[in-house]
């Protein structure tokens, strides 16, 4: 039986005429050999909803802003127990996203208390308003 999987981002070829595209983007936006094991273990998907076209280098500020905002929102502001935001990478000029999940059940359990505290306060506020 053969294993079926999506190609590794390290195996995706660069289209003809686009060689050197990596030089246009910051190092942290690229798949790297230093993070290869981690990056190959994650599910990456093309963000065609927010960035259906090639992401121009100076336009990365838009995706960077929600990269940071989402990480802050679900890990510090409104704590979602198993979530730590997302990672983003650019491959051949296209933006790819992968979720960052907390796999340690102890850590998730500790975050549940914060989630329930905020959830309970939100329900009380909704009752008061409505």
Question: Does residue 15 form part of some domain?
Answer: no
Question: Does residue 97 form part of some domain?
Answer: yes
- pLDDT tens for 33-57 read 999 999 999 999 999 998 999 999 9
Question: Does residue 13 form part of some domain?
Answer: no
- Global pTM reads 0.81
Question: Does residue 2 form part of some domain?
Answer: no
- pLDDT tens for 100-127 read 999 999 999 888 888 887 776 666 555 6
Closest CA to 30 of 84, 86, 96: 96
Question: Does residue 14 form part of some domain?
Answer: no
Query: Which pLDDT score, from 0 to 100, does residue 129 have?
Result: 64
Are 50 and 63 in contact by the 8 Å Cβ rule? The answer is: yes
Question: Does residue 79 form part of some domain?
Answer: yes
Whole domain around residue 26: which residue ranges? 21-129
Q: Is the pLDDT of residue 73 over 90?
A: no
Between 10 and 114, residue with greater pLDDT: 10
Count other C-beta atoms under 10 Å from residue 46's C-beta. Answer: 12
Signed CA dihedral, 5, 12, 71, 49: sign only: negative
In whole angstroms, what is the distance from residue 123 CA to residue 79 CA?
16
Question: Does residue 108 form part of some domain?
Answer: yes
Number of domains making up the chain: 1
């Amino acid at each position: 039986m053969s294993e079926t999987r999506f190609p590794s981002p390290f195996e995706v070829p660069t289209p003809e005429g686009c060689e050197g595209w990596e030089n246009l983007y910051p190092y942290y936006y690229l798949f790297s050999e230093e993070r290869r094991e981690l990056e190959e273990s994650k599910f990456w998907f093309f963000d065609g909803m927010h960035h259906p076209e090639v992401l121009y280098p100076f336009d990365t500020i838009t995706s960077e802003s929600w990269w940071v905002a989402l990480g802050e929102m679900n890990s510090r502001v409104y704590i979602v127990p198993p979530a730590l935001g997302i990672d983003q990478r650019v491959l051949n000029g296209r933006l790819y996203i992968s979720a960052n999940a907390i796999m340690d059940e102890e850590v998730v359990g500790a975050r549940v208390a914060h989630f329930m505290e905020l959830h309970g306060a939100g329900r009380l506020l909704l009752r008061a308003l409505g």
